Amino acid sequence: MKQSDPHILVIFGASGDLTKRKLIPALYEMHTQQLLPEKLAVLGVSRTELTDFGFREMVKEFLSVQPQNQEDIESFLEHLYYQPLLTSDSSEYPILKSRLEELCNELAIPENFIYYLSTPPNLYQVIPQSLAEVGLNDSTNGFKRLIIEKPFGTDLASAKSLNKNLLNYFNENQLYRIDHYLGKETVQNMLVTRFSNGIFEPIWNHNFIHHIEITSAETLGIEDRGGYYDHSGALRDMVQNHLLQLVGLIAMEPPVVVEADAIRNEVLKVFQSLRPISQEKVAQHVIRGQYSQSHIGKELVKAYRDETGVDPLSRTETFLAIKFFIDNFRWAGVPFYIRTGKKLPARVAEVVIHFKTTPHHLFGDQPDSGTLNNQLVLRIQPDEGILLKIGMKIPGAGFRVQTVNLDFHYNELSDVYLPSAYGRLLLDCMQGDATLYARGDAVEKAWEYIQPILNAWQNNPDIPIFSYPAGTWGPEVVDQLMEDGMWRYPCKNLAHDGEYCEL
């Protein structure tokens, strides 16, 4: 694997939750796998008053300390430094510049800097401008890259404003809009499954595919994020970014080369081909729901509106299902379905390709003949793998057919290191590979697609928000979206789903 160039990773918001749960563990994991450059400094920046030693002691609490890895932890901590800074005050950024110059001289690291904005979104415009004012965006003497966490705006107007502001201070090739979904190994494998196997690409079109279904289900509710989630909802939180990016990878044309611009150009073309949903048709194509009080097992689960930080009259959706079309030669007439929600029966993310049934009726007289269509299930999480459902003859007299599963699980590759999503994306940025990062024009195009849905909900209070009991698969009316077929109700276990269902 290509070795990353020496650099300094600056984490803004270093004392925050994301740094604790994701970034530090990912960096430590990369350290143990010897994926980090030998000359690397990680500079934590936050308004919390800490020394380098204090930051390192705090990081120890972030890591699972085991006796056998104490040496790894100590060697990892040597890369960590800290600079207290009021990030919202541009007058303090000369302090940051001086500290970076000091570290470069002390550690013999060139002026290669990556800035990670692990901060509230209101600082996404302040920090880039403040960095530029002291010349910390200048790539003359070394690369300067900026990683931005979602949300990339809250609507089309704010997304355009954010992109415009970022481009005032950084070039597009310096910007890395991170979407941790794209860092998952199983998401990346969708490209390999499609384009490296001659049996799939010839049938990956409207001639052979009946419909495509994408599910991202969570058993958790909103936890302690009521204040945030009530102003976001499932459409902003999951669909605009994660799930539309999946659609792009599933529906894209083959890129000429496996490079960032080639792949991202094809994803953009998919977004440009999405058939707009007018405000008048939102109620026909989009179903939203909100979980209500229910028993899950013996536990009484309170309703969304009773959660801390949520408006008692909230109309924020915790469940969303959309039916849409992609108007191009490959996908003409093929319906796509997205479903996502909280407090559902299983924690599952997967893509299901439903192939058309055979054009003859040799076995059409069987009771379950209507369900004998082939399905390819690309499981993102958990029990990561691939499942192909095909028809086979039941042993005995006659020609009775049943569906059987052919499956592959990633855990069967026991000798292969699978990096975490954040680890993979951080490593890509260190190596200057933006393939799995969202580009500004694609972000805006995704917002452009869902903006009429947001407008319709705001302008038409008659569009219903359906209640569904916590622990169920959403409102019953969601089945009406499927004109010819039915939703797949996945289990935690990918295979053997006809024998038992683990939730």
352 close to 190: Cβ distance less than 8 angstroms: no
Q: What span, in angstroms and rounded, lies between the C-alpha atoms of 42 and 99?
A: 12
DSSP for 123-180 reads GTTHHHHHHHHTTTT--TTS-EEEEEPSPS-SSHHHHHHHHHHHHHHS-GGGEEE--G
Which candidate, 256, 268, 255, 263, places its Cα nearest to that of 326? 268
Q: Look up 242 and say whether it is catalytic.
A: yes
Cα 457 from chain centre: 25
Please, which residues bridge with residue 355 across strands? 209
C-beta separation of 294 from 471 below 8 A: yes
Active-site pick, 242, 354, 361, 496: 242
195 and 188 in contact (C-beta within 8 Å)?
no
Nearest to 55 by CA among 39, 67, 63, 44: 44
User: If DSSP codes are grouped into helix, strand and coil, which group holds residue 149?
Assistant: coil
Pinpoint the alpha helices (H) of 397-493: 421-430, 440-459
* Element housing 408 (H / E): strand 401-409
Phi then psi dihedrals of residue 360, to 5 deg = -120, 175
Nearest to 56 by CA among 74, 69, 68: 74
Task: Give SS3 for 454.
Answer: helix
What distances in angstroms separate CA 71 from CA 29, 59, 304, 470, one per listed residue? 14, 15, 46, 46
Residues carrying an active site annotation: 242
